[in-house]
Amino acid sequence: MKYREIWKVYSKVFDLTTLNVLEELKEDKFILEDLSIISEGKEAVVCRSGDKAIKIYKIMNISYKRQIKYLEADPRIRSFPKTQVGVIYTWVKKEFKNLRKMFKSLISVPAPYVYKKNVLVMEFIGDEEPAPLLHEVIDKLEDKEKVFFDIVEEYRKIYHKARLVHGDFSEYNLLYYKGKIYVIDVSQSIP
């Protein structure tokens, strides 16, 4: 990544509050190594720190009004601040709780560790490089039928064991690592 690109990402994500949260997580030993950016989306940047993935939601998120609809549709959330910051903090809490519920239901998701404000810490899936998204490797897979049935089984477990519906289940929210499917981006999941 070139310095200009790094600064573009840095200025959108690493505001003073986020830097303070990251410092607290470092003090609490959740972050032990420097952060390296592994992906950037519209709503968040995912960084790696050793065996952990750090998902940092952008406070200046242009789609936060869309997130309000998902939060209002979730019966587990009774009320939340409708400010941009309040929505983002509630969204991160929701993703953490969904991850934890799925993890406890033995669904293949990154293990959730902790969340604070707009930062979510979870297990890093991959080796030196992050595990690829399914859409990046689907054409190279030898046993597509097995992968298909593995995906169906993970979704069945999400629905029947965790009692959730993943709101954005697609090949863009599935990782493929060592012959196994991992479900990610579970913030839109609702009961």
Alpha carbons 185 and 53: distance in angstroms, whole number:
12
- Which residue is associated with the tokens 């965790």? 162
174, 183 Cβ separation under 8 angstroms:
yes
- DSSP SS3 for 191: coil
Nearest Cα residue to 21 out of 35, 9, 7, 8: 35
Check if 185 is active-site. yes
Q: Could you tell me which residues are beta bridge partners of residue 182?
A: 175
User: 28, 51, 143, 168: which one is catalytic?
Assistant: 168
For the stretch 121-124, contacts whose Cβ atoms lie closer than 8 Å and that sit 24 or more positions apart, written own/partner, are 121/25, 121/30, 121/31, 121/52, 121/53, 121/54, 121/55, 122/52, 122/53, 122/55, 123/51, 123/52, 123/53, 124/48, 124/50, 124/51, 124/52, 124/53
- For residue 151, give both structure tokens: 């995906």
- Per DSSP, 172 falls in state T
Check if 168 is active-site. yes
Beta strand pairing status for 52-57 and 44-49?
A: antiparallel
Catalytic positions are: 168, 185
